[in-house]
Amino acid sequence: MAEEQKNIKHIVRIANTDLVGEKAIVIALAKINGIGVIYANMVCKFASVDIRKLCGLLDGREIERINDVIANPDKYKVPVWMKDRRKDYDTGRDLHLIGSDLDFTQEQDLRRLKKIKSRRGLRHAVGLPVRGQRTKSNFRRNKGKAMGVKKKSDAKAK
């Protein structure tokens, strides 16, 4: 065990992301934007890597297999319900995006919604909740500044 601690790599690069070598591979993979714990567990299973193994103890072949599973989920027959972008707007294919691709695609989707002036796009533009929540008591912040409640004037009471 002491020898393993000496041979551990403190930073491992997987999917263009630096991961902490002292964490289990499943937890470390979950730090990649677009990969959760369940998806990371599936990646380890398809790459035949023990999920309890520390990220810093992976050898080059295991890292290559993990990168291959993340980059080509269709090659390993990943179920459609595990992918984060089903029926892509542009291509119509089921995709799983990670990292900067995910951020760029979400930004493009919001830009498209705002451009066509859909209800969701307009609410995103104004900064209001998009999915039907009530706004009487929540969402009272406007770009970080708290807004107070306007009370009715006392003139009516007199």
The pLDDT tens digits for 105-142 are: 889 989 999 999 999 999 888 888 888 888 888 787 76
pTM (whole model) above 0.75 = no
Q: What sign does the dihedral 56-58-64-67 (CA atoms) show?
A: negative
Nearest CA to 19 out of 10, 120, 97 is that of 10
Q: What percent of the chain has pLDDT over 70?
A: 88
Confidence band for 55, pLDDT divided at 50, 70 and 90:
confident
Number of Cβ atoms within 10 Å of the Cβ of 78:
18
What is the chain's mean pLDDT, rounded? 84
d(CA 89, CA 66): 28
Mean pLDDT in residue range 83-101: 84
Assigned token pair, 143: 């770009």
Nearest CA to 17 out of 82, 70, 58 is that of 70
Q: Decide: 62 and 43 in contact? Cβ < 8 Å.
A: no
